[in-house]
Amino acid sequence: MNASKKNLAEVEALKRKVKREKSARHQAEQILELKSTELYHTNQKLKHALAELDERAIAKEKQLVGELRANQDTTRTLLDSAQEGIFGANSNGRLFSFNRAAEEMFGYDGSDVIGADVSILLASPYKEQSDESLRSFLQSGDGSFLQESRELIAQRADGSHFPIELWVVNTVSVDGTIFFILIRDLSSQKAAEKAIFEKEVEVQQARDHLAHIARVATLGEIAAGIAHEVNQPLAAITTYAQSGHRLLDANVREKDDIAYVLQQIERQASRASEVISRLRSSIKYGEATRERTSINTIIVDTLNLIGVEADRKKVEIDYRPGDDIAAIDVDSVQIQQVLINLIVNAMQALEAANVPHPHVILITEPRAHQQIYVCVRDNGPPIRKETMDQLFTPFFSTKEHGLGIGLSLCRTLIAAHGGNLNINRNRHEGNEFFFTLPTINAAIKTPTKTESSNG
């Protein structure tokens, strides 16, 4: 009985507790509902406010985008209308713009290369070099890259190469420094330059060839003298050798005689070969090559070559070298050719006119403006004034078998050396041809002066 009483009491207690808790929850629920309503309203307000803000921002953005598009279109039109290939690259060297001219030049579609590295447009070794110099510019902000235009080789989409001229322009945008690279295709210009160069080479070769022919022709006129000069030592060698045979036949005990004969043979053989090599160097065929020398050396060599012919023609040659003649950078063979031409002309005229005491005088003198002056004077009958006008005309000749290229070619050769060849029109006796040659510049003049004073 006690137990049931006790149980009943406990149930009552529990019922009271439940009731209490229910009312507390209800209370809480009511508070919560209130709060949530409050929150909802606040939220709604906030939403309105936000929506309002959004609308304004979108409108603003739309306006901006529109403006940007218009701007981009203008830029695009501008870039596409340019003759030069123009492309933009960001500070990482990635392409972000590629105009129509660039598309045509490179054979890429703009969309193919946007995002690619600038270096795909260049050929080796510029590809690598440009990488470096562009990068170094990007890092340090300066470098040779922006200073001036440069010429390099570009590579098309199909891998072919073409020469270009390139400028880089940099500008600062929201994304940092960007570059615009302007390119001009130099293919046609280079082709033209090459054609001009080839033509020049062709002309030069033709001139060298003509010079060679004239040289051989001129030397032909002094060939008898040169043949004589070679024949003399050969005759001596023959006679020495025959004497040697006789000495052996006679059973001479003196070895000295045989030794002498052999020594003389050797000496005469080298004398003959010197003449030959001098001749060979005078008719050598090849491109004009400049070397530092003195006019004196050239004249002495020329007189060696021409001396026997002058003796044969009984023409006295008087060489009067000037003092203090600076060195020259010339093709010695060509200058020698000019001298031989002038001297042989004079000798032939003297011979034809049968002038008593025929002579040719050679004079060298230093002249102002770093020039040397060389003159070839003769005492032959003066050339008529009418003839003088035609002297330097190609294919004009007063000689029966003359080619008429000698003097005109001499003038060309001297002009090619920066000098001038002419006839002195004011002489009353004989004739005087002269030419000038530029000396090497004053800076290098001093050492050659000491050189010439040694010689």
Distances (CA, A) of 113 to 57, 89, 206: 34, 11, 50
Mark 134-160 as b/e (b = at least 16 C-beta within 10 Å): beebbeeeebebeeeeeebebbeeeee
Q: CB-wise, 264 or 364, nearer to other proteins?
A: 264
Q: Which secondary structure element, helix H or strand E, spans residue 170, and what is its range?
A: strand 161-173
Instruction: Using the rule CB under 8 A, give the single segment among 111-119, 258-266, 400-408, 427-435 that binds other proteins.
Output: 258-266
Ranges within 228-257 binding other proteins (CB under 8 A) = 228, 231-240, 242-243, 246-247, 250
Instruction: Name residue 201's amino acid.
Output: V
Retrieve residue 157's tokens: 């989409």
Closest by CA position to 335, among listed 211, 247, 449, 216: 211
Contact region with other proteins (CB under 8 A), list: 90-98, 266-274, 358-366, 439-447: 266-274
Pattern 312-351, other proteins, x by CB under 8 A: x---------------------------------------
346 vs 437 by CB, closer to other proteins? 346
Q: Residue 233 Cβ, how far from other proteins at the closest point, in Å?
A: 6
- Decide whether 78 or 235 has the Cβ nearer to other proteins: 235
Which residue number, 264 or 332, has a Cβ lying nearer to other proteins? 264
Strands in 359-367's sheet, in edge-to-edge order, are 316-320, 359-367, 371-378, 431-438, 420-423
Query: φ and ψ at 85, to 5 degrees?
Result: -75, 130
Q: Per-residue x/- marks for other proteins, 153-172, CB under 8 A? A: --------------------
- Report d(CA 107, CA 98) in Å as an integer: 11
- Smallest distance from other proteins to CB 236, Å: 4
Count of positions (residues) in the chain = 455
The secondary element (H helix, E strand) that includes residue 376 is: strand 371-378
Question: Is residue 391 within the footprint of other proteins (CB under 8 A)?
Answer: no
For other proteins, the closer of residues 268 and 336 by Cβ is 268
| Closest CB 294 distance from other proteins, rounded Å | 27
The residue among 18 and 223 lying less far from other proteins, judged by its C-beta, is 223
CB of 239 to other proteins, least distance (A): 4
Task: Output the smallest distance, CB 228 to other proteins, in A.
Answer: 4
Question: Binding string, 273-302, against other proteins, x = CB under 8 A?
Answer: ------------------------------
**Which one among 90, 97, 99, 268 touches other proteins, defined by CB under 8 A?**
268
Counting residues that bind other proteins (by CB under 8 A) gives 26
CA 319 to CA 322: how far, in whole Å?
Answer: 10
**Smaller CB distance to other proteins: residue 150 or 228?**
228
**Shortest separation between residue 305's beta carbon and other proteins, angstroms:** 16
Q: Find the binder of other proteins among 211, 261, 275, 328 (CB under 8 A).
A: 261
For residue 173, the SS3 value is strand
Instruction: List Cα–Cα distances, 422 to 44, 214, 302, 390, in angstroms.
Output: 109, 19, 20, 12
* Adjacent-strand bridge partners of 166: 150, 183
Pairing of strands 291-293, 176-185: unpaired
Residues 198-227 that bind other proteins (CB under 8 A): 224, 227
d(CA 21, CA 371): 128
CB of 364 to other proteins, least distance (A): 24
Q: What gap in Å lies between CA 281 and CA 409, rounded to an integer?
A: 19
Question: Given the complex with other proteins, which of 232 and 370 has the nearer CB atom?
Answer: 232
Range list of H helices, 250-331: 255-283, 295-312
Least separation in angstroms between residue 352's CB and other proteins is 17
Residues that bind other proteins (CB under 8 A): 224, 227-228, 231-240, 242-243, 246-247, 250, 260-261, 264, 267-268, 271, 311-312
